[in-house]
Amino acid sequence: MITCIREVRRARGFTLQDVADRCVPPTTAQTIGRLETGARTVSIGWLSRIATALDIEPSQLLRTGDTATLPVVAVLGADGVAAPRHEQTIALPRPESDGIAMLVDVGSGDYRHGDIVWLDRLAPEQFGRALNRDVLVPRPGGRFVFARLIGRDGSRLHLLPPGHGARQQVIADVPWLALASRLIRSLA
């Protein structure tokens, strides 16, 4: 079984220790590292534990013929840019099955024209995960608010839109919101 544990872990922004601590029961960073490199065989049980720790489906850790990867040719570190010590690839992120996207037509705050924002839908009981993060909130009539969730008071959400001088908005009884999880930006 060929896995892409390392690529997925890095794409989600977790360290080896983060994944080890999030496993149930917790394990060591060394064990996760051995599973990533193939020094230790990855069983179905380990695949499930690691996927749960990364908040993904186990199938997303398996490398299939349709998994897009890029070779790593350089690593930017404290001492500058150098070739990697060993051959590495990075798995390109895939959108979640219940994810949605937002296109940025006019730049605002940290967002530029042409950006694509991937968002994960959250039910009201999950809104706490989005505190101090950028969210898309549906409004009546096919409208939306895109802002930073800065507070929650019962069913009321306190939102601060991006950009200088933006005013706080309070919206009540939101059926769902979408948490910004990935920013796709062309460097050209």
| DSSP per-residue codes, 53-102 | HTTS-GGGGB--TT--EEE---EEETTEEE--SS--EEEPP---TTEEEE
In words, the CATH class of domain 99-184 is: mainly beta
Tell me the pLDDT band of 41, cut-offs 50, 70 and 90. Answer: confident
CATH class held by domain 5-91: mainly alpha
Output the pLDDT for position 92. Answer: 66
Residue 80 has pLDDT above 80, yes or no: yes
Instruction: Tell me what the pLDDT averaged over the chain comes to.
Output: 87
pTM: 0.59
Q: What is the pLDDT of residues 50-59, one digit of tens each?
A: 999 998 888 8
SS3 45: helix
Residue 112 has pLDDT above 80, yes or no: yes
pLDDT digits (tens, 9 = 90+) for 143-176: 899 999 999 998 999 999 988 888 999 999 999 9
Provide CATH 1.10.260.40 ranges for the chain.
5-91
pLDDT of 67 over the 80 cut: no
CATH 2.10.109.10 domain position(s) in the chain:
99-184
Under the banding of pLDDT at 50, 70 and 90, the label for residue 37 is confident
| pLDDT for the residue 142 | 86
